[in-house]
Structure 1
Amino acid sequence: MPLFNVYPLYNVTPVSGKGIYVYDDKGTEYLDLYGGHAVISIGHAHPKYVEAVSNQVAVLGFYSNAVQNPLQVELANKIEQLSGCAAYELFLCNSGAEANENALKLASFKTGKTRVVAFDNGFHGRTSAAVAATDNKNIIAPINAQQEVTILPLNDIEGVKKELEKGDVCAVIVEFIQGVGGLDQGTTEFFETVDKLCKANNTMFIADEVQSGYGRSGKFFAFQHYNVTPDIISIAKGMGNGFPIGGILIHPKIEAKFGMLGTTFGGNHLACAAGLSVLNVIEDQHLMDNVNVMSEYFIKLAKTIPQIKNIKGRGLMLGLEFDFEVGELRKKLIYNHHIFTGGASNKKLLRILPPLTVGKDHINQFFEALIEALTEVENNVIAN
């Protein structure tokens, strides 16, 4: 049976990984500066992660949410400890899309309203309401388009105010650093004013931290760079270091009711073991400190390369913007220099999302290869 052909694939077949590197079926080593869309947070096959998942699957991999699961409580307490989000409550699911779907559903339950405000170039997932709030008409099917969503320009404070004062908006959802959209960020004034507007208009402020959370921005959550208090925080990608897990942190003013949310696989024993191991490594190896040090070093080197026209993002969620589309450059990096990087809806942007364990030697390796790859691309242009 053939696979449903929805992914354009590079001709690379990874079969193993260790730390910042992956290895293909021919034994070639690749520097992974993309982490599978920011999923690999503590490095491939980290020994603490392998030990935790192996030990848990050997005793109990799964049972439903109809019984007590102390690992969920332990995970919730550890998230609270490291994030500083005191008094929030945790609901666990399986992915970022599901996290945002539940966040939007919960906002509608709480407010009794139906409309959502989202922003240009935002990406929130591919499920029904999450994809409707995503600024990409190509992935919104007619059944999704029935959702009531208004998409505004980022930083449009007056637009948000006007929409919220209409009285039918249940949620404003925003990425504090856009991922797929190209690493754009709102201003401090924008985020802090929107937070106040939501509170004044009985609207839930949802921080989509699916990609920017778990230390990637240099703080545990990207919204913590601002003076805001989200009502709901969605999390996923770096949460399980590759094991499927997601969730939402819910402000205590939102009261739970039996049956309001639910999931079969969410918060299972194996997922919780994986999630706990990630948090323990982030804490024990001081990875948020490493994020800030490595980010500063990366940006310093990036500023020395004249072809880079703009450096976007924060922490280890970075983008290098050029004055040409980077598709060919990414191919040179992966095939000629064996380095994984990412793209974005902004075709001139190279996305860098390495494991939080990345070191200066890895960054040096990348920039040496980038300089060579830029020369190769320029020579191709001249030749053609």
Structure 2
Amino acid sequence: MKPFDVYPLINVTPVKAAGSKIWDDQDTEYLDLYGGHAVISIGHSHPHYTKRIKDQLDNIAFYSNSVQIPIQKELATKLGDVSGYPDYDLFLCNSGAEANENALKLASFETGKKGFIAFTKGFHGRTSGAVALTDNPKILAPFNTHESVHILPFNDLEAVEKQLAEGSIAGVIVEGIQGVGGIQVPDPAFLLGLSELTKKYGAKLILDEVQSGYARTGKFFAHQWVEGLKPDLITVAKGMGNGFPIGGVLISPEFQASHGLLGTTFGGNHLACAAALAVLEVIEEENLIAAAAESGKAIIAALEKVEGVTEVRGKGLMIGFDLATEAAPVRSALIHEHKIFTGSSGGKHTIRLLPPLNIEPKALTLFVEKLEEVLKVKQA
């Protein structure tokens, strides 16, 4: 038996990491500008993070949710305070897809309806319900196809209202910024319109902040760039645990969820909560929300001046940029010749950057210099 390859494998074997750096089994150093799909929020092996987990491991690592787990309450309180949602409840699970599945369930139970609206280029996970709402035919098996799911054009409020008016929609799910879809930033008027329309037609607004949350965009959640927007449900994961599997759903106090509606074996375990608390503590202590906003502004401005870059999108350290040439050879040169990890996203011309929020400015400057070198060679 061998592991199933979930992605085309890069010929690099990481064995050690610290901050924004990774070392492979040949002791070659790499710069990490991708963070393992936006997971590494506070840097690899952050000392406070590792200490928090080790200390927890010395006491208790796991017990089921059938007993009192005080560290869950500590995490919920901290997340509420840091995120600006202190009055919401927090359901803890293990991943972003699982968070979205439970948000869908909550919206359906609360409204008594089964229809959902999602959007073109959206990505919400690889479990059954999440896949059904993901606009990617490559991962949509016949089993995952649901007549009650409607994939509508992104930023098209008219199409949304037409579908909502039919009366069968339990919820609308949208990413704070589309990640896998190419770093597509929703129009603020679109998000506000979704909030107004869901209220008008008795549906729930679900903000998928799995990739765009946790300070990545220079706000705690990407939707907080839109003043006055308060979703009914917010889903989180990825940067929440800095590598330790954890996800969650922030639930508006208007919901009437009861015992037994949601459940999980591993969700909210002691170790996961310790990891998530460490992330929030570092975000506060190192002022990483402001750091991400500042670093993002600087690198976006630098990328816009690079010859061969045709468009730059995103906020904070959630950045996508398009090239005049195909991205794959450029990414290959960056990792194999210049030892820099980047990500793909959307179409064939897009490169995605999701570095640790506390990345050093000089590392971003170095990346832009190496990108310019690669593009000059490709254009020669």
TM-score, normalisation: structure 1: 0.97
Matches within 5 A, 1:91-102: 91-102=91-102
Separation in 1 of the partners of 2:181 and 2:23? 29
Tell me the amino acid that sits aligned with residue 268 of structure 1. N
SS of alignment partner, residue 309 of structure 2: coil
Give matches, 1:279-358, under 5 Å: 279-358=280-359
- Report the secondary structure of 1:218's partner residue: coil
Distance 1:96 1:205 in 2: 17
**Secondary structure of 1:174 counterpart:** strand
- Which structure 1 segments of 5+ residues have no match? 380-384
Determine if the alignment matches structure 1 residue 370 to structure 2 residue 347: no
Q: Secondary structure at the match of 2:347?
A: coil
Q: Does 1:229 align with 2:230?
A: yes
Where 1:267 maps in the other structure, the secondary structure is coil
Q: Is the 8 A contact 2:308 2:325 kept in 1?
A: no
Matches of 1:128 and 1:195 in 2, distance apart? 26
- Give the distance between the partners of 2:21 and 2:186, measured in 1 at CA: 33
- Count of equivalent residues: 379
| Residue-by-residue CA offset, 1:252-287 (whole Å, 9 max, x unaligned) | 110121110000000000000000000000000001
1:162-311 → structure 2 map (5 Å cutoff) = 162-226=162-226, 227-311=228-312
Following the alignment from structure 2 to structure 1, what is the Cα–Cα distance between the partners of residues 121 and 301? 27
Counterpart CA distance in 2 for 1:372 and 1:225 is: 34
Listed one character per residue, the Cα deviations across residues 63-94 of structure 1 (whole Å, up to 9, x for unaligned) are 00000000000000001111111311000000
For 1:303 and 1:8, how far apart are their aligned partners in 2? 30
Q: TM-score, normalised to structure 2's length?
A: 0.98
Distance 2:5 2:303 in 1: 36
Deviations 1:8-44, CA, capped at 9 Å, x for gaps: 0000000010000010000000000000000000000
Give the corresponding residue for 2:68: 68
Runs (4 or more) in structure 1 with deviation over 4 Å come to: none
Preserved CA contact (<8 Å) 1:91 1:249: yes
Whole-Å Cα distance in 2 between the matches of residues 158 and 297 of structure 1? 36
Amino acid paired to 2:86: A
Quick one: distance in 2 between partners of 1:127 and 1:148?
17
Q: Whole-Å Cα distance in 2 between the matches of residues 275 and 267 of structure 1?
A: 10
Q: CA deviation at 1:175?
A: 0.6
1:147 positional shift: 5.6
Q: 1:232, 1:248 within 8 Å by CA — same for their partners in 2?
A: yes
**1:345, distance to aligned residue in structure 2 (A):** 2.4
- The residue identity in structure 1 corresponding to 2:109 is F
Q: Secondary structure at the match of 2:58?
A: helix
| Aligned mates of 1:228, 1:288 — CA distance in 2 | 19
- Secondary structure of 1:139 counterpart: coil
Q: CA deviation at 1:146?
A: 3.1
> How far apart, in 2, do the equivalents of 1:212 and 1:249 lie?
15
2:149 corresponds to: 149
Unaligned runs of 5+ in 2: none
Residues in 2 aligned to 1:317 and 1:104: alpha-carbon distance in whole angstroms: 25
Distance 2:57 2:164 in 1: 47
